[in-house]
Structure 1
Amino acid sequence: MTYIIIHALAPIFVIMLLGFWAGKVKMVDNQNVALLNIFVMDFALPAALFSATVQTPWRGIVAQSPLIVVLTLAMWITYGAIYFLATRVFKKSPQDAAVLTLTVALPNYAALGLPILGSVLGEGSATSLSVAVSIACGSVLMTPFCLLILEREKAQAAGENSGSTLAMLPVLMWRSVKKPIVWGPLLGVVLSALGIAMPDLLLAAIKPLGLAATAAALFLTGVILSARKLKINTAVMTSTVTKLLIQPAIAWGMVLLFGLHGSVAITTILMIALSAGFFGVVFGNRFGVQSPDAEAVLLLSSVLSILSLPLFISLTSGV
């Protein structure tokens, strides 16, 4: 099982390392990655998320409602707790806290979901559906929180804050929703609910973008990391422990609370037990926000998940 996990993590480290090397030797300007960021955030990832959600049958999404509920609650609880700690205890700015929080709260469904879940439950349509639902759940129900905070702080810095955050909420929500990374998967969910099938030609046309999404995002993350000096501190250690141990424990408690069992319970716990995702770091870079702690958590949790994932895989074998 450890070999399977290392095999799943290997592409992440290799592609990030290539991006890191490209930035260090100045093959890529690691101080100016705006073009690569636009490609990832406005084209590749939205295309991948739209394809995943629009091709997910609505009945399948509804059938996965227990998974959606537990994943969402586990991510929201983690988001709230880490944001509170980041702003009140570690005294971070709201932007830095938002990036760190999204990194911790949103697992790396896109890169690790299918390899890990497939190795435990077997590859098949049910496994692919669970991963697709997890990705949609994270992108539609989690990323807007981070975007709202980043948009709010951007507006305040530009002198656009004419009232309270509550008064600005409609404008901030519109700015977040109109971003491709949000409306892409949301549109896919809506079309799936309406039973509208996309033409095969359209799906074939955007498929290369979707295939490039994860690799491009990981490469971009490596380039971003090449311009930073990573430091391990209390915030990084607290966030890493929360991601790898506390958040899966929260999900496990909810599985017991809701009386879930079998493949649904295993899927729920293992999806949350995945290492930190790269969305937070990429989002922050798009808004000009640097979060060294989020970058450190991304790397550290990926490495340590080699130990934590086998633990949860073994523990869930009897669920």
Structure 2
Amino acid sequence: MIDILIRTLPFFAIIGLGYWAGRTRFFTEEATAYLTKFVFYFPLSAMLFRFSSNLSLGDIYSTRFALAYLAGCTTVYLLATAVAVFRRLSLGEAAIEAQCAIIGNTGFLGVPMLTAIMGKQAAGPILLCLSIDLIVFSSLFTLLINVARSGRVTLRVFKVIGRGLLANPMIVSMGAGLIWASTGAPVPGPLNDFAGLLGAAATPGALFAIGASLASKSAERMQVAGWLSFCKLVLHPSAVAISALLIFHVDLASASVMIAAASLPVAGNVYMLAQHYGVAPQRVSASILISTVVSILTVPFVIAWVDMLQGTS
């Protein structure tokens, strides 16, 4: 584990540097917002396009893998929802807490860190996890929050979901890459180099943006945030591991990537959803802060564990 911890430390060190810049106001909240927007729309999209355009659909999609990941996520999603209902929270609050429990920072942290540590062959499984998070569970949240407000499901809700998916640059870039890959034509050298050069800014930019954004997060409602962080960092990877290894028997290499992806801290886009809909943003903010800090130790532990599993197989 020490070796994995040492290899992950530079990634978390950049997050820490960003946190320092945000905390000292060297990077203002406005600057952080623009940096996040830049990374989201340009370098990260270029990185995802480059990965997906150089892979085949078979390298990314596996029904067994998708079902295993969905089953593990759904188990924790329902548990977090049940606990929220037991505490007599509204449907909207229950939905946002369930998002915290299963949606990790796969785009900004997982793609650059896990491909660097676990190898480029990890790109396909990571992209599939990211796609499921964005398409299935983000859409489910939008559906639930609109049902909570209107009391029914309308055609307008599905239009909102559709527009949201089509406006998400991560989905668009992965889709464009897969379409290109499906043609069988190689990516032209200049385009591939352009995507590689721009995508190289994704890793430091995304990590710095994560840290700078954490500087504005509060640590209120510690008890609830602690529970949601426990769900995300412990229960989520555990449920995914059981689903992948014991129920669906996913091949060990792909399952290892899936479990590592599930161990990532709560994603920043969950806060964006909470803030947009006005549903418990402080609770989500605290969950992101706590889970990110604790993940400095838990993520290397999970990666070391799956690495050991592969070594003993």
TM-score bin (small chain) = 0.7 to 0.9
Whether contact under 8 Å (1:4, 1:116) holds in the other structure is no
Of the structure 1 ranges 247-256 and 142-151, higher mean CA displacement relative to structure 2 is found in 142-151
Q: 1:46 to 1:115 in 2, by over 3 A?
A: closer
TM superposition shift of 1:244: 3.5
Q: Give how far 1:61 is off.
A: 3.4
- Residue in 2 aligned with 1:134? 125
1:207 to 196, 220, 227: 196
Are 2:155 and 1:167 aligned?
yes
1:112 and 2:113 equivalent? Answer: yes
Alpha carbons 1:276, 1:297 under 8 Å: kept? yes
- Displacement of 1:317 in angstroms is 4.5
Q: 2:249 & 2:312 partners in 1: Cα distance?
A: 14
Q: 1:90 to 1:106 in 2, by over 3 A?
A: farther
Partner residue of 1:187? 176
Which residue identity does 1:208 align to in structure 2?
L
- Unaligned runs of at least 5 residues, structure 1: 119-127
Matches within 5 A, 1:133-282: 133-145=124-136, 147-148=138-139, 164-179=152-167, 180-231=169-220, 233-254=222-243, 255-260=245-250, 262-272=252-262, 274-276=263-265, 278-280=267-269
Quick one: percent identity of the two aligned structures?
18
Amino acid at match of 1:176: G
Using the TM superposition, give the Cα deviation of residue 137 of structure 1 relative to its aligned residue in structure 2, in angstroms: 0.9
**DSSP 3-state at the match of 1:110:** helix
Q: Equivalent residue for 1:48?
A: 47
Question: Mapping of 1:304-315 within 5 angstroms?
Answer: 304-314=298-308
**Out of 284, 289, 292, which is 1:295 matched to?**
289
What is the aligned length? 303
Q: Quickly say closer, same or farther: Cα 1:227–1:153, change in 2 above 3 A.
A: farther
- Which residue of 1 is the match for residue 80 of structure 2? 82
Counterpart contact for 2:266–2:288, Cα < 8 Å: no
CA distance in 2 between counterparts of 1:215 and 1:58 reads 28
1:100 has 2:88 as partner: no
Counterpart of 2:174, as a letter, is: P
Q: CA deviation at 1:39?
A: 0.7
**Are the structure 2 counterparts of residues 287 and 45 from structure 1 closer, same or farther at C-alpha, using a change threshold of 3 Å?**
farther
Q: Tell me, in whole angstroms, the C-alpha distance in 1 between the residues paired with 2:175 and 2:97.
A: 25
Alignment partner of 1:33: what SS?
helix
Q: What TM-score results when the alignment is normalised by the length of structure 1?
A: 0.76
Q: Which runs of 5+ in 2 are unaligned?
A: none
TM-score by length of 2: 0.77
Mark the CA change 1:37 to 1:305 in structure 2 (over 3 Å): closer, same or farther: closer
